[in-house]
Amino acid sequence: MTLFRRGLALIAAAITAIPAFATIDLSDDMGTPVHLDAPARRIVSLAPHVTELIYAAGAGEALVGVVDYSDYPPEASRLPSVGSYTRADLEAIVALKPDLVIGWRSGNPPVQIDRLRALGIPVFVNESRDLGAVARTLRRIGTMAGTETAANAAADAFEAREAALRDRYASLAPVSVFYQIWNKPLMTINGEHLISAVIRLCGGRNVFDSEDLLAPKIGEESVLVANPESIVASGMGEARPEWLDTWRRWPQLRAVQQDNLFFIPPELIQRHTPRILDGATRLCEQLDQARQRRAP
């Protein structure tokens, strides 16, 4: 082989040794196209639950920035903060040179998402309204980050666990539920909220599922009229909120009569991540207690 041909062969071998990444094109949860020239290697998360999803999809090593309260898994709290999900610092985001930002429709102001896109930064906006969306989001993060194997495994495990809970509880006698997000103002969720999907998974019925707003403010009178068989509260942390027991002022409520005042830590049911099935397991068990407490 001549030196010239040997040189050509070496160049060809070098070219074939270079990893070939196909471009990535998909749509986010709003139907907006997202284009990546290659799998994302520098990702910024604009919501705590998004941070958790990125780790669950096997892409935690690509995270370079998160918002406040991104506390799970624990290593997420060591990453640089770019502000809060309602007020992110655009300069801080740009300084991190992300090749992908993953946002949250219900939390991030649209103007911030628009500004990031105007700067040429790819943005994927997440909005989960059903349990299946959690698995779908895991798979799409895996596609965008090049971690399909880990992401698909996590999605498969989530779907199998959800199916097991559905098979066990969804067809049982329904239990009416008032889910209380907060006390002042008194807030709940409607039928389109992901938490309502969890309630249905457990064979429950959200008494405020017909409300127009995703997280409406209501009055005590509305709860008394609905007369739910159970009241489930979340609060702000791992401790049961004191205000849950203020419903005992109304002994005519079925939930009070049957001692069906339940608590689930918010991070287990209000974050759209695989851990929502931990919260679902607790809720299913609680609603089953409510069934067992019914008068014969």
Q: What is the span of the domain harbouring residue 267?
A: 171-292
Quick one: 132 and 186 in the same domain?
no
pLDDT at 261: 97
Assess if residue 165 is contained within a domain. Answer: no
The torsion angles phi and psi of 254, rounded to 5 degrees, stand at -60, -40
DSSP state of 294: S
Quick: pLDDT tens for 246-266: 999 999 999 999 999 999 999
Quick one: 108 and 207 in the same domain?
no
115-123 contacts at long range (C-beta below 8 A, 24 or more positions apart): 115/90, 116/90, 119/94, 121/93, 121/94, 122/34, 122/35, 122/36, 122/40, 123/28, 123/32, 123/34
Question: Residue 92: is its pLDDT beyond 50?
Answer: yes
Quick one: 199 and 120 in the same domain?
no
Assess if residue 15 is contained within a domain. Answer: no
**How many domains does one find in the chain?**
2
Quick: pLDDT tens for 22-68: 899 999 999 999 999 999 999 999 999 999 999 999 999 999 999 99
Question: Residue 294: is its pLDDT beyond 50?
Answer: yes
Question: Residue 13: is its pLDDT beyond 90?
Answer: no
Question: Residue 10: is its pLDDT beyond 70?
Answer: no
**How far apart, in whole angstroms, are the C-alpha atoms of residue 98 and residue 211?**
39
Assess if residue 11 is contained within a domain. Answer: no
Quick one: 177 and 151 in the same domain?
no
**How far apart, in whole angstroms, are the C-alpha atoms of residue 140 and residue 125?**
11
Quick one: 138 and 36 in the same domain?
yes
Helical (H) or strand (E) element with 223: helix 220-226
What average pLDDT does the chain have?
A: 92
Question: Residue 14: is its pLDDT beyond 90?
Answer: no
Assess if residue 10 is contained within a domain. Answer: no
Question: Residue 2: is its pLDDT beyond 70?
Answer: no
User: Among residues of the chain, what percentage have pLDDT more than 90?
Assistant: 85
Assess if residue 2 is contained within a domain. Answer: no
Q: What's the CATH code of the domain at 66?
A: 3.40.50.1980
pLDDT at 3: 46
pLDDT at 117: 96
Locate 141 and state its tokens: 């993060």
Instruction: Report CA 35 to chain centroid distance, whole Å.
Output: 23
Assess if residue 5 is contained within a domain. Answer: no
Quick one: 281 and 181 in the same domain?
yes
Assess if residue 1 is contained within a domain. Answer: no
Quick: pLDDT tens for 185-244: 999 999 999 999 999 999 999 999 999 999 999 999 999 999 999 999 987 777 788 899
Residue, of 267 and 42, whose pLDDT is higher: 42
Question: Residue 181: is its pLDDT beyond 50?
Answer: yes
pLDDT at 129: 86
Mean pLDDT of 5-13: 47
Quick one: 26 and 153 in the same domain?
yes
Quick one: 28 and 149 in the same domain?
yes
Would you place residue 128 in the very low, low, confident or very high pLDDT band (cuts 50, 70, 90)? confident
What pTM does this model have?
0.87
Quick one: 70 and 136 in the same domain?
yes
Q: Which of 5-9, 44-48, 86-90, 98-102 has the lowest mean pLDDT?
A: 5-9
Would you place residue 15 in the very low, low, confident or very high pLDDT band (cuts 50, 70, 90)? very low
**Last-in-domain residue among 157, 187, 209:** 157
pLDDT at 236: 75
Assess if residue 12 is contained within a domain. Answer: no
Residue, of 287 and 14, whose pLDDT is higher: 287
Between CA 292 and CA 296, with CA 295 as vertex, the angle to 5 degrees is 90
Quick one: 207 and 91 in the same domain?
no
pLDDT at 8: 43
Quick one: 152 and 199 in the same domain?
no
Quick one: 142 and 208 in the same domain?
no
Would you place residue 136 in the very low, low, confident or very high pLDDT band (cuts 50, 70, 90)? very high
